[in-house]
């Protein structure tokens, strides 16, 4: 039925072990032998059995991507990046949506992780910053990497962008476009990113000596609906801002919908800034000015970290090299304008 390593060995006239060596790119195989083996393998269309290999090496050749509740296009981009890398290395990516992760305990996560036969776990925000999850991972001694969570303070490889600086940049852009009355819609504060983005907004405002009107700063939760609620809230105040910076695209889209509904024209009466450059940003009209993160690349790097051999415990430099902050880009579209 299925070809086994034994068949390849026979055809190439070598031992199984030698075939194994060639297939795993181990050293100490003569070029002639290597060629012979590779050809035999190709001719027989041999693919090694993951299960057998896993049993022998006590590896699983599987990574898990865990996510909760973030925007679909974000998750899918991470997924795409991670599978790209997995593919190259003979790994596979298994996915697990986890709903309402914030209400789960460490024990819940332990149970979940115990039955996940993987060599590494990729966490996306808000799981990236979930202490119970991180504790469970450490307890079970499972390698992991976070995307979009805290970076400097992380005790594991961590990948993201400088949310604070990016938010500062967007805010500065609005200010330089002539806006002074700038509202802000906060994201779910469970996400470190939400806190950093808020910080960035405040920093930029302070740097330009613009006082923040607290009536225009509203708590959201990163959902479209919360953006709508926030916008209704802000528009019901005695005075209105000329710009609103929503800390993600979905909320920005919510703001725009309500603006449209209330006869506030974007961008003529109101500039709206988003964050993430998800699919949403290009779907609304006018299209959102936003901050782009290189999400696919981040997914790739995360998988690379999990597949690469673990670096030595004491190698501080190597560990620091796993705290990776990617560049972001301010994308200017039609939802913002000079005044």
Sequence-ordered list of residues with C-beta below 8 angstroms from that of 164, at least 6 positions apart, any chain = 196, 197, 199, 200, 203
- Residue span binding a second copy (CB under 8 A) among the ranges 46-54, 150-158, 192-200, 305-313: 46-54
Are 67 and 97 in contact by the 8 Å Cβ rule? The answer is: yes
The Cα 336–Cα 286 span in angstroms is 9
Rounded to whole angstroms, what are the CA distances from 117 to 2, 79, 191? 24, 18, 27
Binding status of residue 28 toward DNA by CB under 7 A: yes
Q: Which is nearer to a second copy, 171 or 226 (CB)?
A: 226
Pairing type for strands 290-292 and 329-331 reads antiparallel
Q: Between 110 and 139, how does the x/- string for binding to a second copy read (CB under 8 A)?
A: ----xxxx----------------------
Q: How far apart are the first and last CA of the chain?
A: 72
Q: Between 82 and 111, how does the x/- string for binding to a second copy read (CB under 8 A)?
A: -x------x-xxxxxx--------------
Binding status of residue 339 toward a second copy by CB under 8 A: no
Binding status of residue 5 toward DNA by CB under 7 A: yes
Q: How far is CA 187 from the centre of its chain?
A: 16
Which of 42, 43, 57, 310 lies at the binding interface for DNA (CB under 7 A)? 57
Rounded to whole angstroms, what are the CA distances from 96 to 20, 48, 101, 177, 229? 32, 26, 12, 43, 30
Q: How many residues sit close enough to a second copy to count as binding (CB under 8 A)?
A: 42
Residue 114 burial (C-beta neighbours within 10 Å; 0-12, 13-18, 19+): exposed
Which of 75, 161, 246, 298 lies at the binding interface for a second copy (CB under 8 A)? 75
Least separation in angstroms between residue 45's CB and a second copy is 7
Binding status of residue 282 toward a second copy by CB under 8 A: yes
Binding residues (CB under 8 A) for a second copy: these are 45, 47, 49-52, 54-55, 60, 62, 71-73, 75-76, 79-80, 83, 90, 92-97, 114-117, 224, 250, 253, 256-257, 260-261, 279-280, 282-285
């Amino acid at each position: 039925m299925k070809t086994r390593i034994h068949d390849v060995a026979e055809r190439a006239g070598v031992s199984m072990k030698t075939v194994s060596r060639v297939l795993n790119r181990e050293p100490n195989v003569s070029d002639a032998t290597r060629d012979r083996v590779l050809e035999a393998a190709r001719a027989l269309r041999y693919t090694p059995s993951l299960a057998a290999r896993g049993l022998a090496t006590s590896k699983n050749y599987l990574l898990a991507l865990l996510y909760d509740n973030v925007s679909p296009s974000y998750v899918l981009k991470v997924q795409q990046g991670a599978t790209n890398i997995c593919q190259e290395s003979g790994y596979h990516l298994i996915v697990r949506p986890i709903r309402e992760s914030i209400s789960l305990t460490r024990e819940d996560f332990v149970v979940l992780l115990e039955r996940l036969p993987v060599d590494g776990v990729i966490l996306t925000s808000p799981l990236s910053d979930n202490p119970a999850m991180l504790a469970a991972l450490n307890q079970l001694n499972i390698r992991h990497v976070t995307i979009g969570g805290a970076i400097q303070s992380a005790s594991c490889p961590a990948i993201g962008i400088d949310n604070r600086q990016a938010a500062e940049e967007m805010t500065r852009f609005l200010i330089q476009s002539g806006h002074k009355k700038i509202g802000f819609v906060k994201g779910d504060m469970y996400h470190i990113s939400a806190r950093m983005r808020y910080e960035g907004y405040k920093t930029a405002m302070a740097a330009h000596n613009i006082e923040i009107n607290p009536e225009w700063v509203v708590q959201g939760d990163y959902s479209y609906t919360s953006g709508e609620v926030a916008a209704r809230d802000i528009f019901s105040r005695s005075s209105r801002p000329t710009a609103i910076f929503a800390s993600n695209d979905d909320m920005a889209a919510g703001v725009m919908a309500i603006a449209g509904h209330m006869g506030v024209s974007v961008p003529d009466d109101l500039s709206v800034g988003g964050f993430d450059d998800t699919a949403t940003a290009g779907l609304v009209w006018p299209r959102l000015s936003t901050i782009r993160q290189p999400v696919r690349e981040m997914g790739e790097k995360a998988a690379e970290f999990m597949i690469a051999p673990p670096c030595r415990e004491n190698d501080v430099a190597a560990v620091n090299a796993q705290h990776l902050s990617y560049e972001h880009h301010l994308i200017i579209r039609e939802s913002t304008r000079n005044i």
